Amino acid sequence: MPYEHFADIYDGFMADAPYDDWLKWLSGLNLSGETVADVGCGTGTLALELARRGARLIGVDVASTMLSTAAARAAREHLRITWLCQDMRELSLPVPVDLLLSTCDSLNYLVTRDDLLGAFRRFHEFLRPSGLFCFDMLGPDRIEKLSEGVWFDLRDDAEVWFTSDVDDDGRIEYEVHAFFEDGERPGLYRKFVERHVEQFYSEKAVRAVLSEAGFEVVEMMGDFGRTPSSSADRIVVIARKIQA
């Protein structure tokens, strides 16, 4: 399962995650007292910050170890957040939400159009009328970088590298190799390997699936408006639930 073994070192290798961009954009909304679901929340970085700002948070992730890390961080700050270990294709929230987020290309792990449509329909079901669905997905520039095949990052306590391949249909397959220091046994390192599969979706494809699921696109932009979407690292989408 993606990231199941990665929780201990995940945050240290997320320097390019768009958390600050999302927080800046979300600061334009009055979320105090609003109910927000962060689907694919990872270790809770975005969810915790929104909870600090007064929103009622539900964090959802398929990796239980990531949720354990997120829950421990929330407990240290006495933040009340509901954590759910779920596959987003089978999302089941305890209450309707005003805003649903899915960041850091979590949706690209839905590798078929049917899976993407199914997830979008679940999101639509749990959003309140006119609720917002905000997310980012891999852009053309990121796909080009992944096509180069090798990436690595080194720290004092860990080393991570991955090999990747992108086929003609936009299917991305890569392996993550990590060595990191065992906190209980200094000087010893643990190793794990994870295999990941993602799917690139064009803007046209994303618009079509959103429409079929009952959403209207409010805005679609490259890297929060900094670059044209045709050459963006991430495609950022703001959509609104349409009532039947």
**Residues 55 and 96 grouped into a single domain:** yes
Is 125 found in the same domain as 155?
Answer: no
In a domain, 3, yes or no: no
Mean pLDDT of 186-191: 71
**Residue range 154-170: mean pLDDT, rounded:** 81
- Kindly list the strands in the beta sheet with 234-241, ordered across the sheet, starting from the edge strand earlier in the chain: 81-85, 56-61, 35-39, 97-102, 127-138, 234-241, 215-222
DSSP 172: E
Q: Are 227 and 203 in contact (CB under 8 A)?
A: no
Residue 110 lies in a domain: yes
> Radius of gyration over alpha carbons of the chain, in Å?
18
Among 81-85, 154-158, 205-209, the range scoring the smallest mean pLDDT is 154-158
**pTM assigned to the model:** 0.89
b/e code 46-72 from CB counts within 10 Å (16+ = b): bbbbbbebebbbbbbbbbebbbebbbe
pLDDT of residue 33: 96
Evaluate whether residue 2 is within a structural domain.
no
- pLDDT for 229: 92
Q: Is residue 6 part of a domain?
A: no
pLDDT in the model for residue 4: 47
- Domain with residue 193: its CATH number is 2.20.25.110
pLDDT one-digit tens code per residue, 76-113? 999 999 999 999 999 999 999 999 999 999 999 999 99
Residue 116 resides in a domain: yes
The answer to whether residues 110 and 20 belong to one domain is yes
Identity of the residue numbered 73: R
Say if residue 155 is in the same domain as residue 42.
no
Q: Are residues 65 and 125 in the same domain?
A: yes
pLDDT computed for residue 178 by the predictor: 78
Examine the pLDDT at 183 and tell me if it is beyond 80.
no
The verdict on 31 and 82 lying in the same domain is: yes
User: Does some domain include residue 5?
Assistant: no
Give the C-alpha separation, 138 to 235, whole Å. Answer: 6
Q: Find the domain containing 107 and state its range.
A: 11-138+202-241
Task: Indicate whether 18 and 117 sit together in one domain.
Answer: yes
Residue at 170 is within a domain:
yes
- Other Cβ atoms closer than 10 A to 165: 12
pLDDT at 35 exceeding the cut of 80? yes
Q: What number is the average pLDDT over the span 138-151?
A: 87
Based on the domain organization, do 134 and 147 belong to the same domain? no
Query: What pLDDT does residue 177 have?
Result: 80
